Structure 1
Amino acid sequence: MKTLRNVTLLAIAGLLVPLLASSPAAAADRYFCENGKKVSGAILDKYVAMGDVTSPLGCPATDEMATPDGRGRYTHFDGGSIYWTAATGAFPVWGAVRSKWESMGWERSSLGYPKSDELRNQDGKGVRQVFEGGTVYWSAATGAHPVWGRIGATWGEYGWENSAFGYPASDEVDGTGSWADDAGNVHVYRVVTQRFGSGATLFWIPGGATEGCGGECTGYEVAAPGRLVQRVRVNLPTDSDKFVLMVFPTDAGFRGGVNKAPDGWQEVWANTPNPLRLDTADEAESLREQYACHAAYAHQESDGSWNTGNSWDLESERPKVSWTYATNAMFVAIHKCNWT
């Protein structure tokens, strides 16, 4: 009898395995709102913990169903949905975050399944929800957008939504950039960009030599709407603790000369978040000297272009020298703003 009892128990357990895999155990299935829809398993547990019909989800709109990818289960409610997988657990999705997730392809999108409830951010201006592949952030001013990968990591280093960049204001956009070397050869490279609430754009360049970045790098670009500086770009190589500050002068900036260098340098930082890798006064002074050198050295060619190119590349690895060495015509003719 003991052997038969064990065999029977094993058989019953075998029957339970597929049931648990598709709908984890709960006290019992329950019907709500007299609409003939029941809530089951771990989804029921989550629903009850939230206050069931009194929660933002309201009444169930469907029974529990299997997701198309076969990994999980879900139930739609009047106010949102609850999704479950064995790996993530059960979490509700609603509002603008759910709409964004739906537009991307639900669980088959790059986000995958939700891994957290919707969380209110400390600044009181928005919410976020963590998914397997990234996090969706929402604020009334910017809408709902996913953040992930190298751009998400860089944004996080600067303080997420509390940074000078603010909330994401667009999804990532995969595109190309180009630059011309000293010989006039044009180089095209892949660049992924994402716009943020401050107006700044964060970017990721997977690899390949680009202007101001010799391989993979991240960084950000901001408008510097001044009379002398039109925009500023900060390149952050992933294989170095240094960075390159690219300043794009206006026509007046090119013509400003060394005497306008202090004004231009102030415009550089008017809207540019301080690179976290800038950690010494000597590095800051070196960048200022390089800017002044380019301002002193710039002159226009016969075809209308500028001998310094369309941007002034300031490298944090260059040492501090002296204002005289950086800007005096005799020395500039030798080092051309590229001293070591």
Structure 2
Amino acid sequence: MVQIFERGTLYWSATTGAYPVNFSGGIGARYAAGGYERTYGFPVFAETAITGGAMQKFRTISGGYTAFYWTPAHHRTHTVWENGAIGGGVTQIFRTSTGAETVYTWSPSAGTHTLNGRGAIYAHWRNTGFTSVYGYPVSDEVHVGNGVYEVKFSLGKSIAWSSSSGVLVK
């Protein structure tokens, strides 16, 4: 069910409840352009601020999930199908016109976190099998001091990097 109000639109279903979709933003625009609830289903929660942008998740009639991620740095909305034939998305890479890359990761238990897509920490995580060795990131890639950057992972390990020491697994 859809209810249009003067300052917004609410979607309701028995499985997801009632949540708004902001059609004046990038996520709502992508939702509309792709076919609304017929394609993506109903919102699971309202558009939510995340590090570097916003996201909103939708549940399809078949029970799958679609997540939309929007970032002002890229002025684009990205779609992640979470229940496809090959499973849920582990990462989504965003590139700027300057060539910088930010990798967004998401998991149900850890939420959304960011890594430098051209950095040594992400390269090490990718080259060792993403989640198979370290699990999902549970922190963003952050500067922890003295030129050291670090990401903590769900299987209890951390990957750190500095220009003087290279990659270090803790």
TM-score, structure 1 length as denominator?
0.31
Structure 1 residue 159: deviation in Å?
A: 1.8
Structure 1 residue 168: deviation in Å?
A: 0.5
Identity %: 25
Q: How many corresponding residue pairs?
A: 130
Unmatched runs of 5 consecutive residues or more in structure 2: 9-21, 49-53, 58-66, 96-100
The secondary structure found in structure 1 opposite 2:135 is coil
In the alignment, which of 143, 161, 167 is matched to residue 174 of structure 1?
143
Q: CA separation in 2, counterparts of 1:138 and 1:144?
A: 4
TM-score, structure 2 length as denominator?
0.55
> Given the superposition, is the C-alpha separation of residues 34 and 119 from structure 1 closer, same or farther in structure 2, using an over 3 Å criterion?
closer
In the alignment, which of 69, 72, 92 is matched to residue 107 of structure 1?
72
Q: CA separation in 2, counterparts of 1:115 and 1:157?
A: 27
Deviations 1:218-249 (A, max 9, x none): 2312xxxxxxxxxxxxxxxxxxxxxxxxxxxx
Structure 1 residue 203: deviation in Å?
A: 0.9
Deviations 1:72-120 (A, max 9, x none): xxxxxx7438xxxxxxxxxx9314x889x8xxxx525xxx455631243
Question: Superposition pairs for residues 105-254 of structure 1, below 5 Å?
Answer: 107=72, 112-114=74-76, 116-120=78-82, 124=87, 127-132=90-95, 133-148=101-116, 149-161=119-131, 163-176=132-145, 189-207=146-164, 213=165, 217-221=166-170
Q: CA separation in 2, counterparts of 1:120 and 1:43?
A: 16
Query: Bigger radius of gyration, 1 or 2?
Result: 1
Q: CA separation in 2, counterparts of 1:206 and 1:114?
A: 32
Structure 1 residue 53: deviation in Å?
A: 4.3
Identify, as 1 or 2, the structure richer in helix. Answer: 1
Q: Which runs of 4+ in 1 moved over 4 A?
A: 36-40, 42-45, 112-115, 121-127
> Given the superposition, is the C-alpha separation of residues 120 and 128 from structure 1 closer, same or farther in structure 2, using an over 3 Å criterion?
farther
What residue in structure 2 maps to residue 80 of structure 1?
Answer: 47
Unmatched runs of 5 consecutive residues or more in structure 1: 1-31, 59-77, 82-91, 177-188, 208-212, 222-340
Q: CA separation in 1, counterparts of 2:158 and 2:29?
A: 42
Q: CA separation in 2, counterparts of 1:137 and 1:155?
A: 12
Q: CA separation in 2, counterparts of 1:172 and 1:34?
A: 40
